[in-house]
């Protein structure tokens, strides 16, 4: 059986509704509160089972095969293997500092920070590997035999190199690490190929890079002019001047955030657009404006509901990504067999420890 891009209007389709998701979200919230947070691992599983089941890729819906117990065990493993040693090291550092061995304390602190930095990179890769291994399509799953320990080191040195030359190589670092992650992964019998390039990102990144200096200059000139007007009016700081300063501060951070969002939208289009799986090519067609609408909607939802609306953010984000993902090319379905990669036995505890356990 052969699938070609003209056989379907869109390779990805999400047909879930917030009304269907609401009972799951509110039940998850209630049980998480009652269990003092322990149920959140099973809550994540329930949410993913719904979102995956409402997402169609080509001719078949996705299936989430992970369990809440896996996520809980992963969390406990991180707590025992990394959390407890970290707290012990913290007390040791304090003891060394009190004894006057500040040099040794500083060395141990730097080593601990480097270890946390390494684990952060490792966590990002292993969580992605776990999610692929629990995502089923036509009975096929993804994953990798690469445990990611080498990626953790790659993450460290490429991130450092990206920031060393005054941060000018950050686009190279981001695209290179994206390629490193996906080139280690596979789905079914075929591996992914990623070739994202930083060359098309530099214009927007330089705009973001120089924006603080430009904005400070502009608002500085306006501030001096306002102070001059106040001095001519008698030297008193008027309420209007205070309001102008506050508006200037909000405008500064708002414009900086908008420029950063424009850069990230471009990066994500480049990153996803570089991804290949066998003869299939992926793309992401969301504009900066659509990203802005998503985030402003998130903020409004959370603020207007006094925080309760946060339970719908996973639904909104998954729908956004599924709606804007595209795939072109062909899939020879007869070639697809089950992945032979090892199944990751733990959940996303390490990533969850950094509080970035995204959908």
pLDDT digits (tens, 9 = 90+) for 276-328: 998 899 999 999 999 999 999 999 999 999 999 999 999 999 999 999 999 99
pTM as predicted: 0.85
CA 77/CA 100 separation, integer angstroms:
35
* pLDDT, tens digit (0-9, with 9 covering 90-100), for 232-266: 555 455 666 667 667 777 877 888 899 999 999 99
- C-alpha distances (whole Å) from 122 to each of 83, 84, 128, 185, 321 are 16, 19, 10, 14, 24
Determine the pLDDT at residue 357.
41
* Helix, strand, coil content of the chain in percent (nearest 5): 65, 10, 20
- C-alpha distances (whole Å) from 182 to each of 187, 190, 196 are 11, 12, 11
Q: Are 323 and 15 in contact (CB under 8 A)?
A: no
Residue 176, token pair as written in the block: 């290179």
CA 120/CA 270 separation, integer angstroms:
24
CA 157/CA 344 separation, integer angstroms:
26
- Backbone φ and ψ for 144, nearest 5 degrees, come out as -170, 150
Sequence-distant (≥ 6) Cβ neighbours of residue 176 within 8 angstroms: 158, 196, 198
Residue 189, token pair as written in the block: 């019998």
- Backbone φ and ψ for 346, nearest 5 degrees, come out as -105, 165
Sequence-distant (≥ 6) Cβ neighbours of residue 359 within 8 angstroms: 47, 48, 51, 314, 317, 318
- C-alpha distances (whole Å) from 4 to each of 32, 38, 275 are 44, 45, 18
* pLDDT, tens digit (0-9, with 9 covering 90-100), for 124-149: 999 999 999 999 998 899 989 898 99
Residue 2, token pair as written in the block: 């052969």
Q: When comparing pLDDT for 281 and 102, which is higher?
A: 281
pLDDT of 358 over the 60 cut: no
CA 180/CA 124 separation, integer angstroms:
12
CA 271/CA 258 separation, integer angstroms:
20
* pLDDT, tens digit (0-9, with 9 covering 90-100), for 168-216: 999 999 999 999 999 999 998 899 999 999 999 999 999 999 988 887 7
344 DSSP 8-state letter: P
Place of tokens 């290179």: 176
CA 310/CA 305 separation, integer angstroms:
9
Sequence-distant (≥ 6) Cβ neighbours of residue 317 within 8 angstroms: 294, 358, 359
Q: Are 78 and 123 in contact (CB under 8 A)?
A: no
Sequence-distant (≥ 6) Cβ neighbours of residue 90 within 8 angstroms: 112
Q: Are 155 and 122 in contact (CB under 8 A)?
A: yes
């Amino acid at each position: 059986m052969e699938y070609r891009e003209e056989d379907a209007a869109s390779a990805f389709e999400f047909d879930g509704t917030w009304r269907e998701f609401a009972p799951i979200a509110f039940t998850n919230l209630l049980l998480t509160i009652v269990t003092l947070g322990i149920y959140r691992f099973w809550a994540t599983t329930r949410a993913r089972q719904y979102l995956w089941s409402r997402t169609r890729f080509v001719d078949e819906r996705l299936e989430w095969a992970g369990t809440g117990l896996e996520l809980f065990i992963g969390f406990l493993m991180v707590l025992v293997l990394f959390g407890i040693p970290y707290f012990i090291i913290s007390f040791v550092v304090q003891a060394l500092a009190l004894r006057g061995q500040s040099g040794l304390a500083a060395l141990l602190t730097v080593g601990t920070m480097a270890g946390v930095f390494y684990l952060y990179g490792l966590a990002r890769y292993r969580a992605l590997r776990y999610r692929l291994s629990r995502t089923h399509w036509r009975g096929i799953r993804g994953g990798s035999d690469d445990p990611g320990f080498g990626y953790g080191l790659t993450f460290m040195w490429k991130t450092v190199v990206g920031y060393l030359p005054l941060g000018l190589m950050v686009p190279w670092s981001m695209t290179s690490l994206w390629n490193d992650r996906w080139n280690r992964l596979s789905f079914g019998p075929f591996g992914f190929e990623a070739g994202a390039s930083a060359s098309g990102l530099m214009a927007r990144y330089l705009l973001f890079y120089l924006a603080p200096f430009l904005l400070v200059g502009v608002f500085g000139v306006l501030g001096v002019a306002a102070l001059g007007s106040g001095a001519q009016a008698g030297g008193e700081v008027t309420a209007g001047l205070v309001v102008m300063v506050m508006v200037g501060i909000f405008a500064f951070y708002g414009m900086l955030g908008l420029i950063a969002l424009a850069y990230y939208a471009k990066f994500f289009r480049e990153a996803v657009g570089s991804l290949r799986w066998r003869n299939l090519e992926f793309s992401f067609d969301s504009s900066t404006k659509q990203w802005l609408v998503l985030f402003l909607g998130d903020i409004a939802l959370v603020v207007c509901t006094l925080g309760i609306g946060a339970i719908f953010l996973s639904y909104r984000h998954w729908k956004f990504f599924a709606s804007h993902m595209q795939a072109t090319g062909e899939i020879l379905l007869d070639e697809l067999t089950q992945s032979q990669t090892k199944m990751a036995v733990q959940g996303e505890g390490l990533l969850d420890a950094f509080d970035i356990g995204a959908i």
